[in-house]
Structure 1
């Protein structure tokens, strides 16, 4: 079985991810548009099962290759997202679907709690605070994971201070750079891409604190 999975691991992962999110959207549509609770819960179960299967897929590939590669790390990031920030995003999508389906069917699906949350999410102070808290969590995860990379894959022939003060390795990203911080090639693209995302997240988070937006029009009205 593993021999069949390995050549198509990325295709299987992408298919599972697409199928899972389609199932999640169908869960909300069926729940609110057609009021079929049991059928809706089936699609929610499919979404959860798809996420779990991604973890199983990563484990199967690891058992076959015996190495932690980009594939396992990417899946781990997706699963961590689903279990953390994904929950908040799901609740936001849930309120959005309630609002749109409610208008379409001419019924009120939003609760008073939903409206209160939607009003709060348009408060510039709340927006700035939310982005800062997200950045704090992102910073913690970024530091912890990169500490793990350094401990298990780092080039310990140099001190950490030397590594942090020498960024010339970014000019030669083919293979393992001679003066790079890691001994494993797969870590470099992950670290660099994540570093770019982290920098963008930092700018975004603190932009809303320094330059807060004006109050938005209440979308739930």
Structure 2
């Protein structure tokens, strides 16, 4: 079983993600287009089961290999996204589907509160505040991930001072062996992620100081 999962881990992950996306779309179609609320709940249940399936695969492979692979990290990121930021994004998708399907059917599928929420989200001040919160959360998650990665790649926290003081050296070296990261994948992932965080901060700062 473990060997099978290890051999087809990426195929299973991609297939699970496709099923997740299709399940969310079918949820909206059955619930708002065909007005089948009970049937739509089955697709939400399917989405939850698939997410749990992905987490189970990552855990089984980790126990089998004893290593934190690129697959394990990516699955962890996807699962964490699904149970955190994914919930908010799902609400947005849900409202978007109701607007589109409602316009097609010629009915208003949104509540008064949801109309107020949409109007609020279009407010420039609200958008700035929301972008600031999202960027702050992004930075916090990035820093927490770096702490975990460094803990995995170093023997003690006392080594961190050395790596912090020589950060430019091991980044220029482009080799994870000289860095506090336990693998090439986590090293490259962190470099790319750091660039994205910097871009996110710069974009957020430019948007915050932009005149409404």
Partner of 1:181: 180
Over the aligned positions, Cα root-mean-square deviation in angstroms equals: 1.9
Shift of 1:6: 0.7
- Residue by residue over 1:29-76, the C-alpha shift from the partner in whole angstroms, topping out at 9 and shown as x without a partner, is 110000011111111111111111000010111121111111111111
Q: Structure 2: any 5+ residue segments left out of the alignment?
A: none
| Number of corresponding residues | 211
Distance in 2 (CA, whole Å) between partners of 1:101 and 1:58 is 37
Name the SS for the 2:76 alignment partner.
helix
Distance in 2 (CA, whole Å) between partners of 1:81 and 1:2 is 25
**More helix per residue:** 2
What's the TM-score, normalizing by structure 2? 0.92
2:200 is the counterpart of 1:201: yes
Partner of 1:152: 152
Distance in 1 (CA, whole Å) between partners of 2:57 and 2:182 is 26
Partner of 1:49: 49
Are the equivalent residues in 1 in contact too, given 2:150–2:182 (CA < 8 A)? no
Distance in 2 (CA, whole Å) between partners of 1:18 and 1:71 is 17
Shift of 1:155: 6.8
Once the two structures are overlaid, the 10-residue window that deviates more, 179-188 or 6-15, is 179-188
Distance in 2 (CA, whole Å) between partners of 1:192 and 1:145 is 12
Shift of 1:104: 0.3
Partner of 1:69: 69
Shift of 1:172: 3.9
Partner of 1:210: 209
Paired residues for 1:24-173 under 5 Å: 24-154=24-154, 159-165=159-165, 166-173=167-174
Name the SS for the 2:63 alignment partner.
helix
Distance in 1 (CA, whole Å) between partners of 2:162 and 2:23 is 49
Partner of 1:19: 19
Once the two structures are overlaid, the 10-residue window that deviates more, 55-64 or 150-159, is 150-159
Q: Structure 1: any 5+ residue segments left out of the alignment?
A: 215-221
- Residue by residue over 1:159-185, the C-alpha shift from the partner in whole angstroms, topping out at 9 and shown as x without a partner, is 4344234323334435x34x3232433
Q: Which has the higher contact order (CA 8 A, sep 6+)?
A: 1
Are the equivalent residues in 1 in contact too, given 2:23–2:46 (CA < 8 A)? yes
Distance in 1 (CA, whole Å) between partners of 2:194 and 2:20 is 28
What's the TM-score, normalizing by structure 1? 0.88
